[in-house]
Amino acid sequence: MANLDFILQGLSNTDDHFASTHNVFSLVDVTGGIVASAFMNAAGASIIAEMVAPLADRIKVFVGVRNDVTTLQAIQTLVSQNIYPILVDTATQAFIFHPKVYMTRNAEHARLIVGSANATTGGMVKNIEASLYAELDMCVADDVALFDKVMTSFEELSTRFPENVFQISAETDLNLFVEQGLLIDQNNTQYRTRMRATGTTRTDNRQRMRLSTRTLPRITRTAHQPTETVQIQGTPTVITAVRNDRLLWKSRGLTRRDLNIPTAAGTNATGSMLFKKGDATQDIDPRSYFRDTVFAGENWMHDTTPTTAHMERCFCNFNIIIKGVDYGIHRLQLSHNSRTDTRAYEQHNSMTQIHWGANVKALIAHEDLLDCILTLYAPQEGSDAYTLIFGDDE
Mapped onto helix, strand or coil, the DSSP state of residue 175 is: helix
pLDDT of residue 315 exceeding 90, the answer is: yes
CB atoms within 10 A of CB 151: 16
pLDDT digits (tens, 9 = 90+) for 246-294: 788 999 999 999 999 987 655 566 799 999 998 887 888 999 999 999 9
CATH of the domain at 170: 3.30.870.10
Q: What is the pLDDT of residue 193?
A: 55
Q: What is the pLDDT of residue 44?
A: 94
pLDDT digits (tens, 9 = 90+) for 72-90: 999 999 999 999 999 999 9
Residues ≥6 apart with Cβ < 8 Å to 3: 134, 135
pLDDT of residue 158 exceeding 60, the answer is: yes
pLDDT digits (tens, 9 = 90+) for 101-113: 999 999 999 999 9
* Domain assignment of residue 192, yes or no: no
Check: CB of residue 219 under 8 Å from CB of residue 73. no
Q: Given 3-state DSSP classes, what are the helix, strand and coil percentages for the chain, each rounded to the nearest 5?
A: 25, 30, 45
Q: What is the pLDDT of residue 224?
A: 45
Q: Which residue has the higher pLDDT, 219 or 30?
A: 30
Q: Which residue has the higher pLDDT, 378 or 213?
A: 378
Based on the domain organization, do 207 and 176 belong to the same domain?
A: no
Q: What is the pLDDT of residue 71?
A: 93
Summary mean pLDDT of the chain: 87
Q: What is the pLDDT of residue 394?
A: 59
Based on the domain organization, do 206 and 345 belong to the same domain?
A: yes
Q: What is the pLDDT of residue 324?
A: 75
* Domain assignment of residue 339, yes or no: yes
Check: CB of residue 119 under 8 Å from CB of residue 102. no
Q: What is the pLDDT of residue 264?
A: 62
* Domain assignment of residue 180, yes or no: yes
Q: What is the pLDDT of residue 298?
A: 94
DSSP letter for each residue of 263-274? SSTT----SEEE
Instruction: Give the mean pLDDT of 122-144.
Output: 95
Residues ≥6 apart with Cβ < 8 Å to 210: none
Based on the domain organization, do 46 and 166 belong to the same domain?
A: yes
Q: What is the pLDDT of residue 235?
A: 37
329/79 Cα distance (integer angstroms): 38
pLDDT of residue 165 exceeding 60, the answer is: yes
Based on the domain organization, do 307 and 214 belong to the same domain?
A: yes
Residues ≥6 apart with Cβ < 8 Å to 77: 42, 45, 46, 49
- Last residue within a domain, chosen from 186, 215, 241: 186
* Domain assignment of residue 191, yes or no: no
Give first-to-last CA distance, the chain, whole Å. Answer: 39
Confidence of residue 91 (pLDDT cuts 50, 70, 90): confident
Based on the domain organization, do 375 and 354 belong to the same domain?
A: yes
Q: What is the pLDDT of residue 93?
A: 76
Residues ≥6 apart with Cβ < 8 Å to 68: 93, 184
Q: Is pTM beyond 0.85 here?
A: no
* Domain assignment of residue 193, yes or no: no
Based on the domain organization, do 386 and 283 belong to the same domain?
A: yes
Check: CB of residue 298 under 8 Å from CB of residue 269. no
pLDDT digits (tens, 9 = 90+) for 175-201: 999 888 899 888 775 555 555 666 677
* Domain assignment of residue 46, yes or no: yes
CB atoms within 10 A of CB 313: 16
Least confident of 157-171, 181-195, 336-350: 181-195
Q: What is the pLDDT of residue 186?
A: 80
Instruction: Give the mean pLDDT of 135-144.
Output: 96
Q: How many domains does the chain have?
A: 2
344/65 Cα distance (integer angstroms): 47
- Last residue within a domain, chosen from 158, 186, 214: 186
Burial tier of 363 (Cβ tally within 10 Å: 0-12, 13-18, 19+): buried
Based on the domain organization, do 177 and 213 belong to the same domain?
A: no
Cα 349-192-289 angle, rounded to 5 deg:
25
Containing structural domain, residue 155:
3-186
Based on the domain organization, do 12 and 136 belong to the same domain?
A: yes
pLDDT digits (tens, 9 = 90+) for 198-255: 667 776 676 665 666 677 665 444 444 444 444 433 334 443 444 455 788 999 999 9
